[in-house]
Structure formats: C-alpha cells, structure tokens
Amino acid sequence: MKTARELEIPVRTWVPDRIAVATVFLIMLPIAMLNGTYTGSMVEVSNTLGVYTEDITIGYYAASAGMAVSYPIVPKILGALSGKSLLLADLVLQFFLSWFCARQANIDLLIAASFVIGFLKGFLMLWVIRRIKFIFSPKDVRSEFYAYFYPLVFGGGQLSMVITALLAYHYDWKYMYYFMMLLLLVAILAVILFFRHDRPSRPIPWKELHPREMLIIATGVLMLIYVITYGKTLDWMASRRICTYIVIAPLLVAIFLWEQFHSTHPFVSLKPLFQWKAILGYFYMMMVMFFSTSTSLLTSYLTTILRVDNTHSYTLYIWLLPGYLAGAFICFWWFRWQRWRFRFLIAGGMGCFALFFGMLYFGISPDSTYEMLYLPMFLRGVGMMVLIIAFALFAVEDLHPKYLLSNAFFLITFRSVLTPVIASAFYSNTLYRLQQKYMVELSETLTATDPLAATRWQSTLGSSLAQGHGIDEATQLANNTLYTILQQQGTLLALKDILGWLFAVTLVIAVVSRFIPFHKTVRVPVIRTGEDMI
C-alpha cells in the first residue's frame, strides 16, 4: 500500500498511513450517500408535509445538476485552497445544509438547498478521487479504478435509499438528515484531528470561476427538470409557470452553448460534443439510465399488486449491490485480459437488461412472490454496472486530457440529470394513461352478468352486512372492492404492456450491439485515470 505522502493525504506526522487512508474513506462515506432529498422517504414526506412526491424527485435530481455545474471549476478551487481548509469548509456547509433541509417545508428552498449540496459535493468528490485512485490502481489505469469506484458510488446511493426507508418507517423521515449530519460530524472531527494545512490558500480571480455562465446553465437545467417533473401533475400548459419555463429554459441553454462555442476561455469546452465516440457513449449511457429508471414500475407493482409496504419496496434494491459488484468484477478482468471484442461486453450488458424485463414480463402476476424479484434486480445491477463502466471508458478514448472535465459535465448532465428525469416522467405518464385505458376496457365487462364479479360483490356485501353495516354502506363497500380489483387488474395489464415493449427493445439493442464495430481490434486502449469525475 502507498504511503500517505505518496497519496498526497495532508495528515499530521504522527498519524499512521492506515489511519490516513481510513480517514479518506470516512470522508467519502457521507459524500456517496449525501443528497438534498431522499427518495426512500418520499411517501412519508408527502404524507407529513402534504406535498407531491414530485417535490422529492426534483430535489434529488437538483443535487445531480449541482454536481455537473461545479465540475469545470473544481480543479481551480482545489488548486487554490489547502486540503484541510477545503474539507472543513465544505463538510461544515454540508452539515448545516442537511439541518436546513430537515427543518424546511418550502419546496423551492429545498430544491435550492439540494442544488447547493450537489454543487459542494463536486469539490469533495474530486479531492477524494485524487487520493484513492492510486489505492485502487497503483498504475493509474482507468478501467481498474472504475471497477472499484463505480460500485462504491452507485452502491452508496442505493444504500442511502434503503437506510432512508428504514429510518422513515421506524422513526421519522427527518432522521435520515440527522444520520447524515452524524456522519458529517465524524468526518469533520477526523479532519480536525488528523489533517494539517499542507499549503497556504490563495485567492482566485472572480472571472476564472465563470459565475455568469454557471448561473445561466444552472437556471436553464433546473427549469427543464421542473417542466419534465411537474408536467403531468400541473397539467402541462394549464400551469403558467410551466409555460414560462418552456420558453425560458431552451433559450438559456442556447445562450450558454453559443457563448461557450465562441468564447476563447469557455467555462465548458464543446469539443466532446464533436467526438463520435463521446456522442455514442453518451447515447448508450442515456439508454442505460432510461432502462434503469424503470424500477419505478417495479415499485408500483409491489405497492399496488403485492401490497408491499414502502420499506420492503426499497429494501429490494439491496439486491442491486451484488449485481454492481459482479458487473465491476467482469469489467475489471475483461479489460485486463483483453481477449474478446468490446461489442461482446456491450451485448452482454444489454442482454442483462433484456433478461430483467423478460423475467418481469413473464413473472409478475397477483400470485407472484416478493422473492421472485431478487434475481431480476441482480441482473439489472450487473447490466447497469457493465455498461456504465464500459462506456465511461469508451467516451474518453480519443479525448484530449484537457477536455476531461468538460466531458464529465456533459456526461453527468445527460446521464444523471436529464435522462432519469425524462424516464421518470415517461414511465409515470405512460403507466397512468395505460391504467385508465385498461380500466375502461375492463369496466365494460364488469357487470352483474359476470359470475366472478357478481360472486365477489355478493360475498363482500354479505360479510359487510354480517359485521353490522347498513345496506347502503355495505353496498358501497362491495362497490369499492370491485373498484380495487379493477384498479389492480388495470395496473397489472399496464405494467405488462410497458414491460413487454421494454423487453423487445432491449433484446433488439443487445443483438444490434453485438455487430456494432466499436473498436477495429480486439484490444481496447489502456488509458490513465485523468482529472475527471464521471
């Protein structure tokens, strides 16, 4: 293992190397889990504060947008401040922002706080990456580093959802913020005790931070997220705010891109957008995140059909973690051995998604069990990790190192912000419309002449009367029972419809990917880690 000096960890002279490395991972732990809002508690927050579940969703993705916007200036800040000053300032701000989110009921302020939390996470993330990359890959090989780093980051995100759901169920949704504050406090104390100031801090010219460009793109992206997230809830053009944002958001994005294209010192270089490998990598990773976001359909199946509580719904995501590990293990040895073509790996990763959707399509029913979902979740984790690592490498193969941070900006914006938001809105809208469609079709045959419906109605009516309910109330209960059955059947048919299409699409993409010549040779170029955080 490398020493703390070789890893550039600014610890005091009496601190052992193992303690120094452990402190870096202690700092990384809350970073991987930290967010402004936590989707694992969205039901509890919605019920407690009387807000939409979309309010929690937009806060979650606002943090990702904040990380994307911070990337281009992160190296400048890290180069100007001492490590201890940066860590203390950032961690303390994160502590108070978590406290603010726990006490906040205003959604607009919560979204703003989430964006700032994500913005600050970018500085901590690159500081940690610069130290741990040589721990995971002493030779600084990007594929080896990603095989360790991606499972940690994505696994931390999934773990935070599970912990949030458990804390919200057993205590209160605010306890996740208190839990994160405790982790941050431990990290702050470790920095104070073990770290030293390695160099004096120096000021940074205000122009080098590009505050105007950051404000323009941050506003534009947040407006786009708002429009996509709240479209169905606010009935699209019936909302004056959505109408305004639809006009302003594309205009701000266009202004930003035009300025970056013509600027001699741009905030973000547009060069990655002119590299075919980068574009293909973005496209595939957007597809991966689009298919991965389909777990919202699984949540609907668990809560509506199987009647599983919110805690068990999110606990199911634990099975993604061994999938992440298996996918990372495959990528690690695939790129080290270099014996098979890249397209086989891509076809295999997309095939895992096809198996995921196929098992759900043929497996879900009112009689299915919770346990039958373990294997599909594992396969989804494998496919997602394989494709994310593979295309993170593919996108930067022909890219000049000075454009790596610009590549990270576009990749995170497309992969972790816009695509999941679009996918969530797509699945939500599609499921809702198909539910209504199938409920209408089923209700046309749900009459007194239907023996099954009549038997269920008479059974509920008789049991209600036996319990002492009046005839009117018993009739209403019997009608409600039939409506619940109708709703469950409509939801199941809608899920089958969507999952069937997703199964067919992913299967076709897996087959097509087998024949796409991503590389002309078997061997994939071995490239160094570089200064990016994708």
- Determine the longest span between alpha carbons in the chain, in angstroms: 85
Q: Which residues pair with 195 in a beta bridge?
A: 11
Q: Mind listing the pLDDT tens digit for each residue in 176-213?
A: 889 999 999 999 999 999 888 877 777 777 777 888 89
pLDDT at 460 over 60: no
Task: Round to whole Å and give the CA distance between 281 and 449.
Answer: 57
Given a contact cutoff of 8 angstroms between Cβ atoms, the answer to whether 390 and 384 are in contact is: no
pLDDT at 532: 58
Least confident of 126-140, 340-354, 376-390: 126-140
Q: How confident is the model at residue 231 (pLDDT cuts 50, 70, 90)?
A: confident
**Percent of the chain surpassing pLDDT 70:** 87
pLDDT at 441: 75
Helix segments in 305-418, DSSP class H = 310-315, 320-337, 342-363, 374-394, 404-412
Q: How confident is the model at residue 91 (pLDDT cuts 50, 70, 90)?
A: very high
pLDDT at 103: 84
Average pLDDT over residues 56-68: 87
Average pLDDT over residues 317-336: 91
Task: Round to whole Å and give the CA distance between 282 and 533.
Answer: 15
Q: Mind listing the pLDDT tens digit for each residue in 272-285?
A: 888 888 888 899 99
Residue type, 211: P
Q: How confident is the model at residue 46 (pLDDT cuts 50, 70, 90)?
A: low
Task: Round to whole Å and give the CA distance between 159 and 35.
Answer: 12
Q: Is the pTM of this model over 0.85?
A: yes
pLDDT at 483: 64
Q: Mind listing the pLDDT tens digit for each residue in 132-189?
A: 888 888 887 888 888 898 999 888 888 888 888 888 778 878 888 899 999 999 999 9
The Cα-based distances of 280 to 217, 268, 445 in angstroms read 23, 20, 48
Task: Round to whole Å and give the CA distance between 527 and 404.
Answer: 12
pLDDT at 189: 94
Mean pLDDT for the chain overall: 83
pLDDT at 291: 92
Nearest of 447, 475, 450 to residue 461 by alpha carbon: 475
pLDDT at 457 over 60: no
pLDDT at 471: 63
pLDDT at 448 over 60: no
Average pLDDT over residues 227-242: 83
pLDDT at 50: 61
Total residues belonging to the chain = 534
Nearest of 316, 291, 237, 302 to residue 426 by alpha carbon: 291
Highest mean pLDDT out of 203-207, 392-396, 463-467, 527-531: 392-396
pLDDT at 389 over 60: yes
- Write out the two tokens for 512: 């097509």
Given a contact cutoff of 8 angstroms between Cβ atoms, the answer to whether 511 and 346 are in contact is: no
Least confident of 142-151, 455-464, 486-495: 455-464
Q: Which residues contact 449 (CB under 8 A, 6 or more apart)?
A: none
Average pLDDT over residues 101-114: 84
Average pLDDT over residues 340-350: 89
pLDDT at 330 over 90: yes
Q: Which residues pair with 11 in a beta bridge?
A: 195
